[in-house]
Structure formats: C-alpha cells, structure tokens
C-alpha cells in the first residue's frame, strides 16, 4: 500500500510558484499510507507524490517509476499479483529495471496503449504521465479496491489517494455534498438495489471509477473514459455443478497464494466463519508465523464468532489474538472524529470502528506487520446474504430480489408507486417500465447492485481502516476470475451452488473441519448481540452532554438538512439497555454527515487528531463472559413482576412465546431460552435470585442482562 497524489496544469501552463508547498502538504497528509519512504517529482506542468509502504522488495521498489527513455512516469498504489507472467509476455528486448511489481505497467502501456490493463490481476490505482503525448492516464482495479480521487477546474487537476489530500490545494472546495449524500440509497439503507454511481460525499470531488481508465489531454483538458472490464452477463451453460466447484476451489487457492506473497509479515482477520477460515487454510505453509486477530465483543461472544475463531486457529496451528472490547468501552467524541476523518464516509459505524481498532492492535503487537488478509467479499457473489434477507430457500430469495427490483424501478417512476401502496395488486409489474419479471435479469441486477455496494462501502472502509495504521488490506475473494465464475453460473444451477454459499463450502470442505465448513453464516455484528454495538453508539452520542450531536447540528448546511429537534428527542428516548433498533445506526449516519461537513472546513491533519489508547487482548483469568458482558447490578432479594400492560403468551404448540405490551408483540422468545425460563417463573412473589439459580453460570448471565433491560424498558417492575 502507498499514497499517490499529483497536480497537473491544463492548457500548456507550467506549475505555479506555490506548487512545491502543495506537493509537500500532499505528502504529509498521505504519510500514514506510506510511512517507509516519500518521493516528490516536479517537472514542467506535472508534480507527482509517492509515499511508500514496502511489502514487496523493500530494497528496490521506489517510485516514481520512469521508462528507460524518460517518456513515461508512473506512481501506483497496490499490488500487481501476476507481474512476473506479465513481464514474461513482453517483447524479448524489454528488461525490468527495478524489483517493483508495478514497473511492468509502464511496459504494458508502451506495448498496448489504453488496453494495457486487460490481463493485469491485482489491486491498484495509478497515475501515469505520458510526457511525449502530454497526457495523464488514471486507472483503478476492477473493484476499486485502491482509491483515487481528484478535483479539477479549467486551470488544473489535483489528485490524491484520499479525499483529505485534495484539500491541500486551496482551490478545492471544502463542502459536504448534502444533496448527493441524501440521494445515495445505500446510505439510507433503502429497500432497493444500489445502481447509483459511487458517491464521494464532497462537492467538487470526483473519483476514477473502478475498472476504468481516464485519459486526460493536458493541452486542452479533453477527457475520455475507457471501461476495460464489466461483470459478465453470459452464462456458462456447458459446465455442470462439479466443474464449477472444482474451478472455484482452484481459483480461490491461486488467489490466496498470490495474496500471501510478501517480503514482510502478513496477518489475518479471523472471524470464525468460513470465509476467513478458508483464506487461512488455503495459505498452506505460508501461514507459518502468521498471526490472526479477532474482535472479542459482546456480539462476537453471543454469536459464537470469537469461540470459533479461537478453535480454528488452534486447529491450524496459528496464534489468535482476541482483542477485547469491554462492555463499557466507548470511543470518545475526539476518537470518533479521527476515525470519521480517516474513513471520509458517513457510513462509518460499528463494523468500521472494530476493524480500525483491530489494525491498531495488530501493528502494536506485531511492529513488523505490513499487510492484513481479509475474508471480506466472500458473500456478495456467492449467495451469502440470502438468509440475512429473510429467505428460507432459493425461491423465496428470488422473491425478495423481485420486490427489490420492483421498488428500484418504481423509484425511477414515482408516479406509478401508488398502485403498489397496499395489497392486493391489480397492475402488472411490466406496467412500471415495460420490463418483464424475468428471474435471470433480476438476479443480474442484484449482482450489479452488490458490485456497486462493494465500492461504496466495503473496499472503501477496508482501505482506510488499514491505511490508518500503515497496513495494506488484501482481499483474496475479489479476484476477478472468481467473480466472473460465479456470475456465469447458469440459472438452473444457482439454487444448488449459490444458496447458503454452497459453491464455497463444497470447494473448500476438504480443507476445513466440518464445524467450520458447514457453520451457518453470522453477520460481523448484526444479529445476535447487535445491541452491544448500538449501546456503544448511544453512549458515544450522549457523551459530554451530546457534544457530537451539537457539533453535527451546527455544521455548515446542517440546519437545512437535519431536524435537530427530532434528533435530540429520539436520542433522549433510546434506552441505555438492550436496543437493536436500526434507528441507532441511521442516526449515527446523519450525525456523521454533519461532522464531515465541519471537518472539511478546517481539514485537520490526521496526526493532529486523537487516536486514544490501543485495546488489549484477553488473557487467562476471568471467564470470557465476564469480560464482554455488562451484567446489571440487580438485587437478588428483589421480586420482579410484570407491568400491568404486559402479557407473556404462547402459541398452541408452545414453541414460541410472545412478550406483549399494550396489545403489541414486542419480543418473541424461543422455548428453552434462559430468559424465557425466568419470565415463565415470574409470579410477583419469588425473589430474582431464586428465579436465576436453576440456570447455571452462562444462562444466568444472559437472563440477568435481559431482565435488567426489561426492567429499564418497563416490561417488568419491582413488586412491593
């Protein structure tokens, strides 16, 4: 990983007198991305900046890279995994002058022109200056894993790996794009597909799209875009399920082996699920000496992630650091502002925070570590989210996608929406825009949506959270060959291969214990234990008398887009106990918008913001449950009773029980849960200690937490 940046004058102008200072500021701002080395090149109308994090060939990989005749100059961020085979494909007279994996890009451009990235495999963003033609060539990898942003006017263009770098140039606007943000469906968690272009969140800031080459003529500013890759739209009807599974396993192993190639130490974020566990298993003998890192939170304790991560690490013989997020741990407002400025996105939330802290711990625990392997993007193209979307099987999953497809199309034709306001529906879906309800078209629209979501959220925050600690994130599941393979699975085989990630489970099942290979998917922090993360956010928003709230509401433009009274009232009404309402995260996103609007005005240097102390890993001693569970202090002699407006009822089979308040079902409890056992025994006479005693240590902890929450929420009260 590196930081790249530059300034170029348009219209045959030369760089002005103040350019050196701007280039120096750019290098300072991007220093965290490349703490090992920095270089600045200034020549005529172009200035380039490179800050290096050395993972491959640390002794011989400096940039800018210059062709032997001096006509081509390149700065690149990322890794070209197949650089050796690409170099071997060049004409016989071409010789590599450095050990950099990116040098081959210069020769490919000279050989193939704007078709030079066709066979490149890796993650990269690049700025190439073609001196002979007086042109800039900008490009990014197929999934936008590595970032590249720019602002331009009639006189110049300024480029940077991170948006904050653009603010080093006084001519770049420093305004949050409120309207663009509010029009981004993903930010609002809209029930539609994500077909909007990637939003940069700031006015006047553009990004080089993924899988795209931008070509800028510096003489007149004319710009062309060349898309060099698309998600496949054709199915491979000639292959059967076994062939797909075999090819998937081979490609995934190749991708992992390429990602574990480095001349410095690599680590792995290990969740205990099949994705990261598969990466660890397929690393083979290269996992020797590799350390793994797991977030130990109330959520990962409740959903079993932490336990399974520790178990598979022992099975495969690697150290596992379980980084403890205590139940009372809350980032300070200043720490949140630093994370927000590092990530540059209002979608910053609990997942982003946990990963940022894992990277910080990893770099402190392993100072020589420079790269982190991730299991990210193992769900998006493999059918991994089907059950999360409420589907029971493949037909019901396609039913969910059909609803998303219809609502996506209705968003483009709002006048027709009222026909679907309530059931029954009498108008055909074809009436929306003439499209038939075709299953293959709908599934491909879903894949395109996931492709865009990966760019807007996944790779965006994975890049920044790693970069903040001088670490490169590596994502084996985003090898384009894997994605192409899954996209080409024909409709007839999708239920067999893409339901519950069967293609992945079958491909790596022989390399992993069944306990992991067939373990059901659980979200990183959603689902069981979500309330731990949301409680952290609530406490953060309330800290220092709501300091973050008031700063966000006072930010430029906030008064026109945020209803401050509703924000304050909603926050006041959220209990400190067990809440898993999505409104908590949505409120944090709204406040993030205001805070980014404020930060952009002053554009602080990252090193001038507060990071806070690094968390510690759990060691022997107290039970893990005590370390992650915030057990309420409840009097054992106290006698709980149901509030007058609360009932506990069950269905005829007795399999599910319902906690009803004011005639509305508020909680569903499954038979056998410790909390249900306590509630069934509540009679307004028995002390709490007697109700908890039969449950055992683990069951008592869970039930005690839930009873405390129910007391706070008014479902229970103390008798007498």
Residues labelled as active-site residues? 2
Handedness of CA 142, 148, 149, 152 (dihedral sign): negative
Quick count: other Cβ atoms within 10 Å of Cβ 425? 11
The secondary element (H helix, E strand) that includes residue 599 is: helix 583-602
CA-based nearest residue to 571, from 589, 582, 587: 587
Contacts of 119 (CB under 8 A, 6+ apart): 82, 86, 89
Residue 526 to residue 334: CA distance in whole angstroms = 25
E strands of 494-631, at which residues? none
Q: Which residues pair with 225 in a beta bridge?
A: 214
Residue 526 to residue 383: CA distance in whole angstroms = 18
| CB distance 54 to 99 below 8 Å | no
| CB distance 178 to 592 below 8 Å | no
CA distance from start to end of the chain: 64
Cα 547 to the center of its chain, rounded Å = 27
| CB distance 227 to 211 below 8 Å | yes
CA-based nearest residue to 473, from 375, 583, 395: 375
CA-based nearest residue to 380, from 391, 392, 388: 388
Q: What is the dihedral of CA 582, 584, 590, 595, to 10 degrees?
A: -140
Residue for token digits 């997942």? 351
Contacts of 47 (CB under 8 A, 6+ apart): 6, 7, 8, 15, 19, 22, 23, 40, 41
CA-based nearest residue to 377, from 187, 142, 80, 211: 142
Output the six-digit token pair for 554: 């006072």
The secondary element (H helix, E strand) that includes residue 371 is: strand 369-373
| CB distance 265 to 293 below 8 Å | no
CA-based nearest residue to 372, from 382, 380, 362, 357: 362
Contacts of 578 (CB under 8 A, 6+ apart): 531, 535, 705, 706, 709, 713
Contacts of 175 (CB under 8 A, 6+ apart): 202, 203, 204, 556, 557, 597, 600
The CA angle 492-497-503, to the nearest 5 degrees, is 155
């Amino acid at each position: 990983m590196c930081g790249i940046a530059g300034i170029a004058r348009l219209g045959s102008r030369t760089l002005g007198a103040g350019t050196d200072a701007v280039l120096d500021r750019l290098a300072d701002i991007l220093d965290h991305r490349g703490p090992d080395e920095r270089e600045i090149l200034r020549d005529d109308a172009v200035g380039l900046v490179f800050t290096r994090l050395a993972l491959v060939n640390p002794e011989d990989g400096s940039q800018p890279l210059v062709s032997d005749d001096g006509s081509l100059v390149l700065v690149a961020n990322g890794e070209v995994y197949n650089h050796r085979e690409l170099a071997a494909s060049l004409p016989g007279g071409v010789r590599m002058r450095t050990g950099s994996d990116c040098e081959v890009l210069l020769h490919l451009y000279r050989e193939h022109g704007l078709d030079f990235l066709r066979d490149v495999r890796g993650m990269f963003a690049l700025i190439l200056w073609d001196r002979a033609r007086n042109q800039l060539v900008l490009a990014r990898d197929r999934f936008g894993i590595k970032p590249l942003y720019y602002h331009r006017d009639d006189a110049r263009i300024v480029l940077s790996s991170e948006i904050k770098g653009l603010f080093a140039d006084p001519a770049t606007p420093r305004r949050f794009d409120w309207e663009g943000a509010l029009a981004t469906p993903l930010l609002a968690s809209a029930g539609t597909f994500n077909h909007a272009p990637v939003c940069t969140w700031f006015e006047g800031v553009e990004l080089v799209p993924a899988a795209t080459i931008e070509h800028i003529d510096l003489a007149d500013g004319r710009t062309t875009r060349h898309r060099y890759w698309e998600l496949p739209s054709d199915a491979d009807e000639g292959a059967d399920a076994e062939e797909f599974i075999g090819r998937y396993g081979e490609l995934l192993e190749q991708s992992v082996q390429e990602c574990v190639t480095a001349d410095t130490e690599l680590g792995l974020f290990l969740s205990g699920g099949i994705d990261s566990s598969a990466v660890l298993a397929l690393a083979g003998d290269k996992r020797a000496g590799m350390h793994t890192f797991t977030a130990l939170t109330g959520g990962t304790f409740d959903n079993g992630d932490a336990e399974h991560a520790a178990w598979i690490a022992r099975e495969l013989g690697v150290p596992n650091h379980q980084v403890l997020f205590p139940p009372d741990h809350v980032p300070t407002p200043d720490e949140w502002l630093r994370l927000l400025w590092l990530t540059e996105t209002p979608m910053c939330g609990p997942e982003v925070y946990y990963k940022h802290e894992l990277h910080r711990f990893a770099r402190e625990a392993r100072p020589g570590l420079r790269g982190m392997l991730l299991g990210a993007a193992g769900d998006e193209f493999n059918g991994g989210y089907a059950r999360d979307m409420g589907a029971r099987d493949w037909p019901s999953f396609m039913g969910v996608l059909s609803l998303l497809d219809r609502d996506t199309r209705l968003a483009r034709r709002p006048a027709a929406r009222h026909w679907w306001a309530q059931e029954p529906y009498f108008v055909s879906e074809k009436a929306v825009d003439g499209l038939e309800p075709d299953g293959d078209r709908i599934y491909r629209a879903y894949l395109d949506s996931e492709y865009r979501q990966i760019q807007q959220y996944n790779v965006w925050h994975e890049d920044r959270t790693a970069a903040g600690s001088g670490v490169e994130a590596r994502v084996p599941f985003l090898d384009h060959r894997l994605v192409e393979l899954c996209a080409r699975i024909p409709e007839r085989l999708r239920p067999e291969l893409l339901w519950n990630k069967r293609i992945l489970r079958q491909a790596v099942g022989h390399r992993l214990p069944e306990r992991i290979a067939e373990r059901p998917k659980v979200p990183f922090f959603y689902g069981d234990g979500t309330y731990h993360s949301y409680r952290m956010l609530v406490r953060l928003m309330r800290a220092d008398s709501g300091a973050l709230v008031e700063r966000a509401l006072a930010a430029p433009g906030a008064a026109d887009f945020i209803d401050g009274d509703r924000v304050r009232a909603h926050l006041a009404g959220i209990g400190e106990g067990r809440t898993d309402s999505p409104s908590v995260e949505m409120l944090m996103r709204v406040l993030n918008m205001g805070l980014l609007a404020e930060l952009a005005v002053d554009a602080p240097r990252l090193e001038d913001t507060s990071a806070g102390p690094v968390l510690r890993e759990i060691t022997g001693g107290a039970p893990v449950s005590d370390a992650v569970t915030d057990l309420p202090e409840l009097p054992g002699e106290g006698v709980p009773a149901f509030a007058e407006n609360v009932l506990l009822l069950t269905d005829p089979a007795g399999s599910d029980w319902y906690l009803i308040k004011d005639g509305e079902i508020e909680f569903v409890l499954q038979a056998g849960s410790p909390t249900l056992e306590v509630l069934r025994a509540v009679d307004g006479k028995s002390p709490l200690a007697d109700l908890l005693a039969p449950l055992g240590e683990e069951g008592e902890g869970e039930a005690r937490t839930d009873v405390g929450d129910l007391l706070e929420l008014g479902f229970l009260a103390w008798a007498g």
